Amino acid sequence: MPYIQFLGAAGTVTGSKHLINTTYDSSSKHGFQVLIDCGLFQGQKEWRERNWQDTPVPARGIDAVVLTHAHLDHCGWIPRLVKEGFRGPIYATQPTIDLCSVVLPDSGHLQEEDAAFYNKRKVSKHHPALPLYSLKEAQDCLRYFKPVAVEQTTQLSAELAFRFVRAAHILGSCMVEITLQTNGRSRRLLFTGDIGRVRDSLIAPGKVVHSGPQENETADVLVMESTYGNRQHPDTDPRPELARLIRETAQRGGSVIVPAFAVERTQKFLFILKRLMETGQIPRLPVYCDSPMAIRAVEIFLKHTEEYTERAAELIRTYGSPIEWPGFTFALTAEQSKKINESHYPSIIVSSSGMVTGGRILHHMAQRLPDPKNLVIFIGFQAPGTRGAIIKSGAPEVKIFGEFVPIRAQVAALEQFSDHADPPEMLEWLRTFKNKPGATYLVHGEPAAAAQLRERMKKELGWNVQVAEYMERVEVE
């Protein structure tokens, strides 16, 4: 019997890796093996340590990777997989490949920086501390990527074919429809990756890419994300509150620090700031975008006009490229980044990583958190155990660069900027399915989120839903 094995994003929101094994393959008899996503574990140490373990299946025994989108928790382990011997094709949409060509080398760079930091401080158990993979290794793995158009069917083996359909999560993001033909039977498997917002309106402003995931799906087996399984996005427009928070901070002479995911969230947020300034809702404060990855991603976004919503296209027609906006500074080099620290006038600093796990945001946090004049705004999900979650929780201090930094700045969170569907949106989408899947497995959620979504799906849809467990293997009947 073919099976799916959950090698990551089971019991947690990071490290997405789902293995399909046909158990029989006309050419090899070992079964054809495809990995859907190959993400990095982030957050709590117990999860991060899994990045250092080998895959339970030897990497060279995996025949292909199909990648849903370019967020690190879905693609960030690819360089390591290649380092361990994987040599097959990695299928993704062209915008996803373009984004990966920025995101993966940046991740390699951060891995090297981390290792160097631990070696300098000698705080690692391992001497010398090594990077999970280097910048060069990340660059080298890009040669295995193969672009596939949305809705084009690709036959991977005699038994297995796949097709991308829209997920509407970030630029280039897709779900993966798998067709399995074994034992004279055909089955459809659907892997959602991350599911974008279903509604695109005042309550989910700034959406860059197509609104709403592909409707009217059929699936015998559904593997679905559950990040927001136990929470609902506020149903109010966040922009008036955002404007008020920024105005108040500027009035007391403070700066606004926004940790933002470099891909999609930063671009979307810059356009929102621009609109608020142009309409006079916030003062024209200097805006610093301090993330080389986000800056390169801006260029990739501008290239892929086919992905835009009508509203995003209109914003870009009106305001042009953010790189050219007066008052907006894009810090590519470390020197430019350091200069931002010297600015003591009110400003807005948008920097990554979005969960304050690494990157330049660490310097800004270390410098600005102790001052009550400043404001930190979270506009994205903060996984448990990350610095972002600690700061957001109201903790009195947070450890940055090995030292405790007191948190005296104002801390706010606006959940509406999420690129993940919430339960009402997920149910709205699931109701468009043409059939009831024989089995649904929830992945990519904290245990409480997955459990609550499971109950709702069982109650409101009457579906057979299970929460996937780490390393669990389920047969595809």
Which residues in this chain contact Zn ion in the complex, by CB under 5 A?
71, 194
Closest residue to Zn ion, Cβ-based?
71
Show the tokens assigned to 395.
Answer: 């903790």
Residue 432, Cβ neighbours under 10 Å: how many? 13
- CA angle (46 as vertex; 81, 353 as ends), nearest 5: 70
Q: Which is nearer to Zn ion, 170 or 282 (CB)?
A: 170
- CA angle (378 as vertex; 373, 379 as ends), nearest 5: 135
Q: Which is nearer to Zn ion, 31 or 193 (CB)?
A: 193
**Contact between residue 368 and residue 400 where contact means Cβ atoms under 8 Å apart:** no
Q: How far is the CB of 225 from Zn ion (least distance, A)?
A: 8
CA distance 108 to 111: 5
- Distances from the Cα of 321 to the Cαs of 23, 295, 301, 455, in angstroms? 50, 11, 10, 45
Q: Which is nearer to Zn ion, 71 or 166 (CB)?
A: 71
Q: What is the dihedral of CA 399, 405, 410, 415, to 10 degrees?
A: -10
Q: Which is nearer to Zn ion, 71 or 387 (CB)?
A: 71
- Which own/partner contact pairs does 121-124 have at CB distance under 8 Å and 24+ positions apart? 121/402, 123/402
Q: How far is the CB of 301 from Zn ion (least distance, A)?
A: 15
- Distances from the Cα of 477 to the Cαs of 31, 192, 263, 434, in angstroms? 16, 20, 38, 19
Q: How far is the CB of 356 from Zn ion (least distance, A)?
A: 17
Q: What is the DSSP letter of 39?
A: P
Three-state DSSP class for 243?
helix
Q: What is the DSSP letter of 41?
A: P
Of 11, 92, 20, 93, the residue nearest 57 (C-alpha) = 20
Q: How far is the CB of 224 from Zn ion (least distance, A)?
A: 14
Q: Which is nearer to Zn ion, 74 or 368 (CB)?
A: 74
Q: Which is nearer to Zn ion, 194 or 307 (CB)?
A: 194
Q: How far is the CB of 14 from Zn ion (least distance, A)?
A: 10
Q: How far is the CB of 423 from Zn ion (least distance, A)?
A: 18
- Tell the residue number behind the tokens 């404060």, with chain if given: 285
Q: How far is the CB of 246 from Zn ion (least distance, A)?
A: 26
Q: Which is nearer to Zn ion, 38 or 115 (CB)?
A: 38
CA distance 98 to 300: 7
Q: How far is the CB of 352 from Zn ion (least distance, A)?
A: 14
Q: Which is nearer to Zn ion, 76 or 322 (CB)?
A: 76
Q: Find the helix or strand (DSSP H, E) in which 251 lies.
A: helix 239-251
CA distance 254 to 246: 9
Q: How far is the CB of 401 from Zn ion (least distance, A)?
A: 27
Q: Which is nearer to Zn ion, 177 or 225 (CB)?
A: 225
